[in-house]
Chains A and B, each alone.
Chain A
Amino acid sequence: MPGIEYLLEALTPLNIMLALGGVIAGTVIGSLPGLTATMAVAVLVPITFTMAPASALILMGAIYTGAIYGGAYAAILLNTPGTPSAIATTFDGFPMARRGDGDLAVTLACLASVSGGLVGSIFLLMLAPPLADVALAFGPVEYFWLAVFGLTLISALSENNLLKGLIGACFGLLLSCVGVAEISADIRFTFGSQTLLGGIETVSALIGLYCIPVLIDLVATPDKHLKVTHQARGFRFLEALAISWKYKLGLLRSSVIGTLVGILPGAGGSIAGLVAYSEARRVSKRSEHFGKGEPEGVLATESANNATVGGGFIPTLVLGIPGTPPDAVILGALLIQGLRTGPNLFTGEGSIVYTFIYGLFLATLLMLPVGLVIGRYAYKTIITVPKAMLVPTVAFMTLIGTYSIRNNISDVIVMITLGVVGWVLNRFGFSPSPIVLGLILGSIAEQGFVQAWTIGAAGEDLTGMFFGRPISLAIIAFILLSLFYPLIRKHWLGSKMGKVRAD
C-alpha cells in the first residue's frame, strides 16, 4: 500500500473527531432536500483556513461522503432525491418504503454507500495518477456520446411506456435549454422573464418534480404516507448484510462503475447511479422486479454514487481539475492553503495526500455506525410524525432548500411550477425521471456536440470526430446494446425456448 506510513497520521484524535463530526454533519445536511454537498463544503471553507491542510481535507471529504449518503434518506422515505446522485435510489427505495421496508432500504443504502466509498478510496489510493489520464482521454465527443448513452437508459427505465418516456425526455431536453446557454452565451426560452434567466437549476427541478407530487398526494388521499407493518425491528442489519453479501459482485460492479464515471469531470453522481442501476437490472435474474422495490436496485445506485467521491478526487488531486462540484470547492480551499495539485502532490506532499486518503477511508468506515443510527432515526421520524405535521414540515424544507441552492427566489418559483406540472403529468402516466434525465443530460450532450463539431469542422474531419475515436466507438456500442437489448433478449430467450421445445 502506498503511503502506509501516513496511516497513523490520519488516526490522530483530532482527525478522527473531524471525520466523525464531518460524516454526521454531512449525513444530516444531505438528507435535507436542497441542501447539497457543495453547499456544506463551501460553508466550511473559512473554518479550514486555520487547520493543517490534511485535517482540512479530511473534514471536507467526510462531509462530502456523508452528504452523498444522506441524500438516500429523502429518496427512500420521501421519493425525493436530495441530490441528483440519488435519482435512481427512488426507483426501488421508495416502493420498498411504501410496502413497509423503509428501514431495510435505509440500512441497505448505508451498507452500499460504505462499500462504494471504500472501493472509490482504494482506486484513489492505488491508481490515481494513471486513472487521471482516463479523464483526459475523454474529449467533447466522448461526453456527447456518454450523454446520449444516458438518454438511451430512458428506454430501459420506461419499458411499458416508451413513448411517454421519450416525450418526458424531450420536455426535459427543452427545459435544459432555458436561460443563458453555458457555452454560446445565447439567451433562450426566457420569454423576457428575469425568473428564467438563470435557467432551470437541476436540484430545484428534482425537488419540484419528485417531492411536490408526493406532498399533493399526501394531502389528497387519506392513506398513511408509508405503510407500517410492525414496530421496532431494530436496524434489520443482519438481513441487509445477507442481501448485500448475496449481491457482492453486483456491489463491486456498481462501485467500479461509480468510480470510473466519477473520474470524468462533468459526468458526476447522477450518471453513475443511473448507469449502475441499469447495468444491475440488465444483469439481474430478477430484472422484472426492478422499479417495484428490489433491494438490488438500491444497492446498485447507492454504491455507485458514493464511489464517485473517491473517483472525483482523482482528477482533482492529480490534474487540478475538479471531478465534481464539491471537488471544485475543495480544490479552491487547497489553493488558498497554498497547495499545488498535480502528480507532485503525491510525491512531494505525500504526507498531506496520503493522510487525507486514509482519512477518507476512516470517514467512510465511520459512516456505517453513524449512517445506521441517523437512518433509523430518520425512518422513525417519518413514520411516526402525523401527516398533518409531516406535510407542512417537508413543504417548508423544500422551500428553504430550493432557495438556498443559489440564494434565489426564482428557483423557488420554478420548483413549485414544475411540481404542479409534474403532478399533472404523473396523472397521465408520465414519470419524472425521463424529464430530469433530459434536463441533466441535455446540457452535457449539447456542449459536447457543439465542441466536437467545432473541432471536427476545423480539422475538416467530422465523421472521424464523431465515429472514429476508439472510446467513442465503445460508447456507441453500449448505446446500441442498451437500445436493442430488450429485442436481443427476447430473440435469445425465444430461440432457447424453441430449442427446449425441439428437444
Chain B
Amino acid sequence: MKLKQLVAIALATIMPLSSAFAEFPEKSVSYVIPFGPGGESDITARHQQSFFKDKFGQDLVISYKPGGGGAVGWSQLNGIKGDGHTIMGINLPHIVIKPLQKDVGFKTDEITGVYMFHYTPDALVVNQDSPFQSLQDVIDYAKENPGKLTLSGSGKGTANHLAQIRFDGMAGIKTTYVAFKGTGKAVAALLGDQVKAEWGYTSVGAKHEGKVRLLAVAMEERHPKFPAVPTFKELGFDLVSGAYRGIAVPKSTPEDVRVKLSQMIGEINADPAFRQRMENDGMALLDVDYAGMDAFMEKMTAIYTQAAREAGVIK
C-alpha cells in the first residue's frame, strides 16, 4: 500500500499531466450493461469490477439497461453526459448488424468505442455421447443429409448465427440453424437432445465440462483451457469469430478522457490474475485500444455485413 502511494506521488510529480488526466476518475464510474443481469456481458463486467477498484481507487458501479437486444441502451448512449464517469458495454456483432437491419435509434459509427477487451470464441459443441467425434464427422453427415443437421444457437444475426452461415459456406454444407433466446436455452436444447449440435462458445465448454465436447474453436490459436481442441484454422477453415465485447463512451467525452479510459481497461486486461479468471471461464482476451478501434471496426463490419447479407438477415 505504502509503496503504491509512493509510486503514485512520484508519478504525479514527474509526469506533466493535463488537468483532466490527473483528475479522472474523480468519483465512481457507472458502467451500463445494455443487457439483463446474469448474462456473459454482465459476468465479464463483474470480473473487471474488482480490478478497477484495486487499480484506480474508485468504484465501478454496474447497472443494466436491457431491451431490444442492446439497442435500447446504445440508442441512449450519446445522450449521456460525456465526462468519462459513465461508460457502456458494447457487443459485436450486435452494434454492426442491428443498425443495418432497421432504424434502431443508433448507427454503428455513432458509437465511440474506446477498447475491445475480450471475445468469447465461437465453437462447435456436441454432447459428450454424440456420435460426432470430429469436425469432419459433422461435415460428412451434413453432406449426406443436407439440411437435416440441426444446430441450436443464441439468436439470429448473432455471433453464433453468423458463424453457422460462414462455416456452411466454407465447408460447402447445408445445415439448419435453430435460434434460441440466449445461450442458456441453446445449451439446454443440446443437452436435452432436441438438436444434434450447437453453435456455441468456448465458455459453454468451460461451464458444462464433462457433458459437452468442443469439436473446434474459432480462434487464431488453441484456447489455453482446451489444448486438445483444434481451431477451425488448423482444419482448413478460416473462421475466427465470436462475441466481442468492449467499452464505449458518449460522443461528448473529451479526447484525453477517452485515451485515459482506454489505458485503464488495458491495464486491467494486462493483469495476470484477471487473464486467468477470464480464461478459466472459457473466454479469450483481446487488446484493441482506442487508437486501434477504427481499423478493427472496419475489418469486422466488412466480415459481418457480408455474412449477414448471405444469411438474409439484412438486405
Binding site for B on A (CB under 8 A): 38-39, 41-42, 45-46, 49, 135-140, 179-180, 182-185, 187, 192, 194, 197-199, 201, 265-266, 315, 319-322, 325, 327-333, 335-336, 338, 340-342, 344, 406-408, 410, 447, 450-451, 454-455, 457-460
Q: Which residues of A contact B177 (CB under 8 A)?
A: 454
Q: A38-B36, A319-B188 are in contact. List 13 more A-B contacts (CB 8 A).
A: A139-B189, A185-B156, A197-B68, A197-B104, A199-B67, A321-B187, A325-B36, A332-B42, A332-B46, A406-B67, A406-B72, A407-B32, A454-B176
Stretch of B202-210, B213-221, B249-257 contacting A (4+ beta carbons < 8 Å): B202-210
A330 to B150, CA, bound (A): 31
On whether the beta carbons of B181 and A322 are closer than 8 Å, the reply is no
Q: What secondary structure prevails in chain B residues at the interface with A?
A: mixed
On whether the beta carbons of A42 and B37 are closer than 8 Å, the reply is yes
Q: Which residues of B contact A42 (CB under 8 A)?
A: 37-38, 64
> How far in angstroms is the closest Cβ of chain B from A133?
8
Q: Which residues of A contact B62 (CB under 8 A)?
A: 46
Query: For window 216-274 of chain B, which residues contact chain A by CB distance below 8 Å?
Result: none
Selected from A137, A139, A410, the residue in CB contact (under 8 A) with B72 is: A410
> How far in angstroms is the closest Cβ of chain A from B76?
8
Q: Which residues of B contact A328 (CB under 8 A)?
A: 36-39, 184
On whether the beta carbons of B63 and A321 are closer than 8 Å, the reply is no
Q: Which residues of B contact A455 (CB under 8 A)?
A: 150, 176, 178, 194-195
On whether the beta carbons of B280 and A139 are closer than 8 Å, the reply is no
Query: For window 274-307 of chain B, which residues contact chain A by CB distance below 8 Å?
Result: 277, 280-281
**In the complex where A187-B102, A406-B67 touch, is A266 in contact with B185 (Cβ < 8 A)?**
yes
> How far in angstroms is the closest Cβ of chain B from A383?
36
B172 within 8 A of A: no
Selected from A38, A322, A342, A406, the residue in CB contact (under 8 A) with B209 is: A342
Query: For window 14-70 of chain B, which residues contact chain A by CB distance below 8 Å?
Result: 32, 36-39, 42-43, 46-47, 49-50, 62-69
Q: Which residues of A contact B173 (CB under 8 A)?
A: none
A451 to B186, CA, bound (A): 11
When C-beta atoms are compared, the residue in chain A nearest to B194 turns out to be A139
On whether the beta carbons of A136 and B191 are closer than 8 Å, the reply is yes
Q: Which residues of B contact A451 (CB under 8 A)?
A: 178-180, 189
Interface size on B, residues (CB 8 A): 62
Binding site for A on B (CB under 8 A): 32, 36-39, 42-43, 46-47, 49-50, 62-69, 71-72, 75, 97, 101-105, 147-150, 155-158, 176-181, 184-185, 187-189, 191-195, 206-211, 277, 280-281, 313
Selected from A46, A199, A322, the residue in CB contact (under 8 A) with B184 is: A322
Q: Which residues of B contact A39 (CB under 8 A)?
A: 37
**In the complex where A184-B156, A319-B191, A335-B281 touch, is A342 in contact with B208 (Cβ < 8 A)?**
yes
Q: Which residues of A contact B43 (CB under 8 A)?
A: 332, 335-336
When C-beta atoms are compared, the residue in chain A nearest to B67 turns out to be A198
A451 to B47, CA, bound (A): 34
A328 to B42, CA, bound (A): 11
By Cβ-Cβ distance, the 4 closest A-B pairs, closest first, are A198-B67, A328-B38, A136-B192, A458-B176
> How far in angstroms is the closest Cβ of chain A from B65?
5
Most chain B Cβ neighbours within 10 Å, of A42, A45, A458 = A458
Selected from B66, B75, B101, B210, the residue in CB contact (under 8 A) with A406 is: B66
